[in-house]
Structure 1
Amino acid sequence: MSEPKPGQKPHYGGAVKAAVLSIMLLQYLQALTSPAAGAILKHFEQFGYTSLDIKQIQTIPTLVMIFACMAIIPMANKLRKKTILKIAMALIFFGGIAPGIGPDSMMFIYACRVVFGCGYGMIYALASSFIVDLFDGPEQKQMMGWKTAAGSIGGIIFQTVGGFLAAMYWKYAFLGFLVALPFILLILWKCPDPSGLEEFNPAKEAGRPKAKVEKGHWFVIVLAALNVMIFSSFMINMPIVIMTEGLGTPNTIALVMNLFTVGIFLGSFTYGWTTKLLKRFDIPFTILVYGIVLVILPRFVTLPVYMICALIFGWAFGAYNPSLVLAVSRQGSALAATAAIAFFVAGQGLGQFIQPYFMLLTGVFGLNEPWGELAPWVMAGPMLIAISICSFIWVVKITNRKFPYEGNVKAVGKADQSMESPLDS
């Protein structure tokens, strides 16, 4: 680490950067258990559990993360950030591995997922905060880019490991959390505590005026929550559909979900080109892609189709996610971005948790008997296409008139700076 000049942050070496990026990798440990959903269902259905019960293993952490993410803000006022990070890592590791060594009980698994979700939510907030606190200028932007790449690669590795272990026995997928130990040790050893560098953070300006979250913000927040509630049926249902339709094993699930992760990487990598081409219509277009893919999946139940669709769906997700964050800031004052992003994150977690219950509407529409586990996709596809059309109309009638695209570039840049570290607002 080089000595900082007055008003500048220190320059760190490769080991410190690797440690900071490892924080992001811990967030993707959730991928370890995704391929095990089918194997867990096969084991527990003899005790009367259904696919809805199994889906809660993945969705419980997304609900708990809402409260954990909100709780971390007051915690940051009393504890050093690396102390909070240590707590988060302990919760993720012990909550993640416990089902693999604990009793054969669904209630025990649920309890462990609550513990895991607390750490997951805290890591979600800390991953970007540490980069913003420790780096600045071009180095900070470079680290943000590497963070996305590291997350995509980590997701592929963890899903592969999870699928391999689940193919042997469903509990082994939870034992896969042992792979977190090298990353945790690297973070403890090399990751600096940014608490002493807060004077360099521009988000800490004294007397910074507050701005309200406007109706434009709320439109994007509600849109995002509704979308994730619907399109997350792709990720949640895919493992179960592959198993119940006889398309493969947990290793097959890992392969398909890895293609989804590769798609996310490609979508993130080509994001600049995509937004340059589509401008404000990037969100409506990616939602349209979601809808088309979910219309195709239940009608062409073959592994090659699922592999191609996973790649396309992942690309759309990779372009959609950063677009949403920017869209929140575009709808009003840049000073309201931090509060809007906090509500956005909470809405994402709530939408993912409600998703299995929302998809029970398939019974109301009479889709369960003819379609079985494919029914959620049958319902979700047309819904997303309808939302895409409404989003196109919103951009044309509201957003482009209120915020001319070319004239809003500077405001977006300011919003990016204000929302990069929600902990420091």
Structure 2
Amino acid sequence: MQNKTYEELLFYFTENKVFKASLFSIAATTVLGATIIAPSLPALQNHFLHIGHSVEILSKLILTIPALFMMLFSPIAGFMYEKFKKLNIIFISLFIWSLAGIAGFFLNNIYYILFSRSILGISAAFLMTGIGVLLADYYTGIRREKALALQGFFMAFGGGIFLILGGYLADLDWRYPFLVYFLGILILIFAFFQLFEPIKHTHNNHTKTLHPPFNFTKFLPVYIMAIFCMTCFYIAPTQLPFFMTQDLGIKQSNIGKCMAAASVAMALGSLLYPRVRKLFNIYEIFFIAFSIFGIGFACISLLHDFKSILIGFGLIGVGIGLITVNNNAWLFSLAYEYERPRAYGFLASSLFMGQFISPLLTQIFVHYIGMVKMVGVFSLMILGSGFLFLLFSLKNGGKIER
């Protein structure tokens, strides 16, 4: 009866719209942290030209170095969420995230900015892992897939709004977008009064011995997918702003609009996921999403006017929105309850690994074949990956674990 009462209360509170807004607002900070300063990167690079040629890679690392520390600390976060209360870690991490983000406004040394961004990445690792684990604790079954879709919507739509703001602020000065991180303090106050610590199911010692050790290889395809998709997706904020300003003469505010279009489209793609999931299996959704994703990059590679690039960003957003939710749902379908913190920690690490290596890998392509051809090559790789999933689906007769 006690468990039944808890389940009823859990359903009642977690279906509250204000509760969901507070939960998913924290999830949105992990996207906001990485992309809000993207429109200001060209101006930031110009400000630090005096340090020499290294500024080209250092300016891009300001955007992506949080991902390196998110990659390193997400598995650690997964272990800590197994041992300690989740909300305590999340609230402390959100406070540190805000302070580290705002610090960029006051710093005039690119290396100090990189250090503050590293702290931002560590705190974001704990935020993303914690929210993923909380979501799995609060929701089950179809409700979880709907919650994952809503999480994706909040992350993408919120990111889109603030990317537009970031673009306009970057036109004024490259420092101003850093002030947007003050929102973390407001979200913290909001979430403190709404979220609650889920009851952790306890087991006796005999039951614990029946648990097999964590099987990393079971989740390996999910992790590889996350690395590949984030590597491709982060071409948009790390490489394309330079192409748009230097080659096409597009204003920074319009760069913000393009990235906002990708975020809004990502939100719509995420929101559509539960309906798409009713019609297709996970492999088929990957095929559809990769096709849309790849066509978006093809538009940017082949058509060089602002409207076409805007459409390309929109298609990229829809594709990555479907892929992200689909990959999360795939992970949770494979993970037992006791595996979730660790499994999601490694997933978060994989996502951030893709973000971090993206500018390092794609810069090699840019150096040898140029920006436009690099985008074209990745477009073909993405489309090819989609067809591989179609073959997997046909081979397995549409059957896959839910």
Q: Same fold (TM over 0.5)?
A: yes
Residue 398 of structure 2 corresponds to which residue in structure 1?
Answer: 405
Contact 1:61 1:118 in 2 (8 A): yes
Cα offsets for 1:204-228 (capped at 9, x unmatched) = x855532764867434432432343
- The alpha-carbon distance between structure 1 residues 14 and 296, as it changes in their structure 2 partners (threshold 3 A), is closer
Offset, 1:51? 3.5
Listed one character per residue, the Cα deviations across residues 186-244 of structure 1 (whole Å, up to 9, x for unaligned) are: 123333333xx22499xxx8555327648674344324323432342133222222221
Q: What percent identity do the matched residue pairs reach?
A: 18
Distance 2:6 2:239 in 1: 53
Of 141, 153, 160, the match for 1:156: 160
Give a deviation string over 1:71-124, Cα, whole Å, max 9, x none.
22332355322220122112211111101012x111111101100001111111
Aligned partner letter, 1:184: L
Contact kept? 2:225, 2:327, Cα under 8 Å: no
Q: Indicate yes or no: 2:233 matched with 1:228.
A: no
Structure-2 change in CA distance of 1:6 and 1:291 (3 Å): closer
SS of match in other structure, 2:302? coil
CA contact (8 A) 1:362 1:379 kept: no
- Corresponding residue for residue 421 of structure 1: none
> Is residue 387 of structure 1 aligned with residue 385 of structure 2?
yes
Partner Cα distance (1:238, 1:396) in 2 = 36
One of 342, 347, 361 as aligned partner of 1:344: 347
SS in 2 for 1:192: coil
The one-letter code sitting in structure 2 at the alignment partner of 1:32 is I
Question: 1:130 and 1:341 mapped to 2: Cα distance?
Answer: 11
Aligned residues: 390
Contact preservation (8 Å) 1:210, 1:336? no
Structure 2: gaps spanning 5 or more residues: none
Instruction: Name the structure 1 match of 2:47.
Output: 43
Matches within 5 A, 1:205-244: 206=208, 209-210=211-212, 213=215, 217-244=219-246
Matched with 1:5 is 5
TM alignment of 1:23-422, pairs within 5 A: 23-30=26-33, 31-48=35-52, 49-102=54-107, 104-134=108-138, 143-194=147-198, 197-199=199-201, 206=208, 209-210=211-212, 213=215, 217-279=219-281, 280-328=283-331, 338=340, 341-362=344-365, 366-368=368-370, 373-397=371-395, 400=396, 404-405=397-398, 408=400, 411-412=401-402
- Is the 8 Å Cα contact of residues 286 and 317 (structure 1) preserved in structure 2? yes
Q: What SS class does the counterpart of residue 129 from structure 2 fall into?
A: helix
Residues 1:326 and 1:183: Cα distance change in structure 2 (over 3 Å): closer
Residues 367 and 112 of structure 1: is their aligned pair in 2 closer, same or farther, counting only changes over 3 Å? same
Per-residue CA distance 1:295-351 (angstroms, 9 max, x = gap): 331332111001111111111111111222344567x78689745554333222212
Amino acid across the alignment from 1:99? G
Question: What value does the CA root-mean-square deviation take over the aligned residues?
Answer: 3.2
> Partners in 1 of 2:386 and 2:154 — Cα distance?
30
SS at match of 1:193: coil
Provide the rounded CA distance (Å) in 2 between the counterparts of 1:101 and 1:208. Answer: 53
What TM-score, normalized to structure 1?
0.80
| In structure 1, distance between residues paired with 2:219 and 2:85 | 31
Distance 1:221 1:177, change over 3 A: closer
Looking at structure 1, the residues matched to 264 and 279 of structure 2 have their Cα atoms a distance apart, in angstroms, of 22
State the one-letter code of the partner of 2:58: D
- Whole-angstrom distance in 2 between the partners of 1:206 and 1:389: 42
- Residues 9 and 367 of structure 1, relative CA distance in 2, 3 Å threshold: same
| Counterpart residue type for residue 162 of structure 2 | F
Contact 1:81-1:193 at 8 Å conserved across structures: yes
Structure 1 unpaired stretches of 5+: 413-425
Find the residue that maps to 2:242 and give its secondary structure: helix
SS of the residue corresponding to residue 303 of structure 2 reads coil
